[in-house]
Structure 1
């Protein structure tokens, strides 16, 4: 399982490595956006040879709640960008068509998607008994990466109780990172991957807004990894041991949240810029990689009336309007920068915070050695020393 001999894992900034120039939110996490909550359930059982359907198990589920109210009754604006479509998500097409998100967002392992979606439907039906009877249907949103290198993928070990626990336990605290929740069995750039998060502050007309990213990283080869813009192989050849954990196509999921009152078109534009942040760490969006980005605004512009129809939330709509055309403003440029920087840092946090994990058939995903990377950067005068 997890390598107990490893020292405490540290986020990238704790090593003196500072990606980007914009200021971070107070927690430097997607939960800096007021109302957003994140919950994880991690499942790690058994060791040794793979017995399909029985283990070893290295998997989990992660829940992202856009706000604390009933999301089905109070949907939010959202946009989706498909970087490379080799994936098995559910619920994205309706978001692309209507521009609204009315579901919690769940992340998990590939073959768990139908079971997780089923559990999510049960969870939402409890608070919305009118669904499919006196009201519209429900669009569950579940995204995935393949954790089959470490996990018994065929076992589909995420059950309804795990999904419900992740939703109920979701917190506004800084999101846990590394080998937790959906990230438990993921690998990235030949190291242990998983969950990572980061955020940026944006100021507009003396008002401060936030944008945050949460990623599920499961992509890339070791020779492609870039730290603070510099290829790993140029920093220290010892770090580039290609005989260790492999890598390759994999997948990545990027979830973006902001408290700016953006519309779905603007949010789709933000989602598309996550690809630049992924490129900064070395992503090639490989042929067999499922790379998806979903962006949403926490501003509650809509609500359902007593007939289940979506209507404008008039009591808040006036104060939520921005007095600029964002498509032509400097603010949009700064938002693009915030997306790129927070996506890049979130991926790096997922690597720096993940410990070594041993999984099925003796497969091992080594936690990225943060101390060695930081030392190599310092030797090359590419970061300030950690104090």
Structure 2
């Protein structure tokens, strides 16, 4: 971990729904997360993050899933087959834009190793552009980095902030990275789990519980330099029994949640959400009329994951001497006129 704080440790609580034990996507049983980080302290600040559902096995090669593109300015490998079939057949790997294609090839290696007889695979790789802080043209991600993230994935609390695919990302004028959160809504008396993991790298003005916090005010002398290629990848996992159509409804709400933290949804922002369920295929899907608690869980967990991705990040100076500042806690917790935020 970065040594920085999560939103709740700073007194910033999103909604009133209970979280899972870790307040992370790994609260969904069987969902693992792994990172590989490349940071030379100078021109390389990048990496790989892998979300690995253990429910994908030789006997069960697909999970119900959906993708929603809030703005399709991106290189989300494998998305069209998810759209067509409503099935996720691989772990989800996140990395930098120009490394997405090497990461996809490495993910195919991983899938082939798990299925020696297979002749067709659909690797799913998302990306955001970390070229503001990292020398993205070097394309430093190798197969080994991807395999390390996949093979090292675990069910504990994932590291957040400047780690894995979030090592060189920025958002809302500040240093950002990876963030995660979860919720435990009750549907017809039965608790289910919803977890989110985000790779934040998008523009706008940081907004915390409805209060705008521009970088120009929190960090004197800093400017909100919105990098070219700013984007956001959101992965939502749940154990609620849902079909692909219903998961698309969850994915849309994940993108909507970006607006709560001040996203600008700009022209060059590739904003995508992938939602999948680990529920047994023998359990019938919930009726649509019972989904409101799950929708609320998605919105709250994504909002908190986005805040965690910023609050856990540390100030970073990268390629060409560019610096992205961490959110300063002392300024964050100052009461705003008429509305405390701490």
Normalising by structure 2, what TM-score? 0.94
- 1:1-20 map, 5 Å: 8-20=3-15
Residue in structure 1 matched with residue 300 of structure 2 by the alignment: 341
Deviation, structure 1 residue 19: 1.3
- Bigger radius of gyration: 1
Within 2, Cα distance between the matches of 1:58 and 1:175? 19
Secondary structure at 1:172 match in 2: coil
Within 2, Cα distance between the matches of 1:71 and 1:375? 53
Among 357, 362, 370, which residue is 2:316 paired with?
A: 357
Among 61, 80, 86, which residue is 1:99 paired with?
A: 86
Deviation, structure 1 residue 70: 2.2
1:321 aligned onto 2:284: yes
Deviation, structure 1 residue 8: 3.4
Secondary structure at 2:117 match in 1: coil
Change (3 A) 1:374 1:252: same
- 1:115-154 map, 5 Å: 115-132=102-119, 137-154=120-137
1:382 aligned onto 2:320: no
RMSD of the TM alignment (CA)?
1.9
Change (3 A) 1:164 1:13: same
Residue in structure 2 matched with residue 276 of structure 1 by the alignment: 256
1:228 aligned onto 2:209: yes
Aligned partners of 1:71 and 1:103 also within 8 Å:
no
Aligned partners of 1:57 and 1:152 also within 8 Å:
yes
Change (3 A) 1:71 1:65: farther
Change (3 A) 1:59 1:237: closer
Secondary structure at 2:202 match in 1: strand
Residue in structure 2 matched with residue 22 of structure 1 by the alignment: 17
Within 2, Cα distance between the matches of 1:217 and 1:238? 21
Deviation, structure 1 residue 370: 2.2
Residue in structure 2 matched with residue 332 of structure 1 by the alignment: 291
Residue in structure 1 matched with residue 194 of structure 2 by the alignment: 211
Deviation, structure 1 residue 238: 3.1
Residue in structure 2 matched with residue 253 of structure 1 by the alignment: 233
Within 2, Cα distance between the matches of 1:380 and 1:370? 19
Aligned partners of 1:33 and 1:259 also within 8 Å:
yes
Q: Unaligned regions of 5+ residues in structure 2, if any? A: none
Deviation, structure 1 residue 74: 2.9
Q: How many residues align?
A: 340
Within 1, Cα distance between the matches of 2:59 and 2:73? 28
Within 2, Cα distance between the matches of 1:152 and 1:71? 39
Aligned partners of 1:73 and 1:102 also within 8 Å:
no
Aligned partners of 1:186 and 1:192 also within 8 Å:
yes
Aligned partners of 1:151 and 1:359 also within 8 Å:
yes
Change (3 A) 1:70 1:361: same
Q: Any idea what the Cα deviations from partners look like across 1:22-63, whole Å, max 9, x if unmatched?
A: 11111111011000000001001152xxxxxxxx21100000
Within 2, Cα distance between the matches of 1:282 and 1:294? 21
Within 2, Cα distance between the matches of 1:237 and 1:142? 34
Q: Unaligned regions of 5+ residues in structure 1, if any? A: 1-6, 48-55, 302-316
Moved over 6 A (4+): none
Normalising by structure 1, what TM-score? 0.84
